[in-house]
Structure 1
Amino acid sequence: MAVRVRSGSANGTVITMTLDDFRRVVPPERVERLELKKQDELRLRNEREVVQERLNRLLQRISQLDKSVDEDDMTDAEFRNLEDLRITENLRHQQLAERLVRVGAQLSRNKRELKRMVGAVYKDFLANGMGRTTNSVPDQSRNQNSQS
């Protein structure tokens, strides 16, 4: 498995190395923090998907309740029961939507923090001279017009 460490700059520099090499050059505590942050990101993504799925199913149930209220001939007691159920389902929908927003905000913060942590690893590589290789060739595609 390869590890990619990207710079935060516009030039898009990427350092690719094996996981074993990465573990050799990065302190174990830092690797563990990165792994924990990535696991947290995956957990939040999964939680977001679960909440979205539950929200979609709930919306379908609310839609079916709305249709049955409009289409069926029912007594006042049946109508009140259905209306109470609809109100309850709408409240659940609101709570799930709020949860989805909270999970999305947590995921966004987590991704920013992970990006910052990876950027710090990249800067440390450069500061220690590990980012320079003898095989790297600068990208000349941007300077083609000036050579004419």
Structure 2
Amino acid sequence: MILVPDPHGRDGELTLVVALDAARAFADPAGVVADARRWSRYVGVVDNDVGAVEAFVDDHGIRNDYALGERDKRRALTEIRAAANTPRYVFVGASPEDRRLANHVGWEFLTANEAAGKAGWELSGDDTGNDAGDDAGVSRRLRRALDQRSLWPF
């Protein structure tokens, strides 16, 4: 099972999944998850790079409600929906691909900007996670990737 047993027995009506790039868009990702736990039964972060998710949640002190194993986003969303018994499933994503994925597997979709606006969460200000469906977002993601290339081992 992909859901981690909840020792607190939350009974919220929502399963919330945040793509890693969208989670990075929030000024306080741990605060976002803590706030979302007040009204969500399950909350967590997913990405195709499971190691990056594990590092992110560890760095921010987030307990992920999803045991990802080697699942990519598509498989994780599909299995979470099958295992979670909630009336609503919301995926906060950061790209047009995330939006298409949410539509394909039957999840509601929000960008980090939309989620922040609805929940009163603060964004980090670097535009990460707010470019789903936006052509300028492609150039922002490419620029970020190039800026991060100094982190590569070669």
Range class of TM-score, shorter chain: under 0.3
> Could you state the TM-score of these two structures normalised by the residue count of structure 2?
0.24
Higher helix share: 1
Whichever structure has more strand as a proportion of its residues is 2
| Structure number, greater radius of gyration | 1
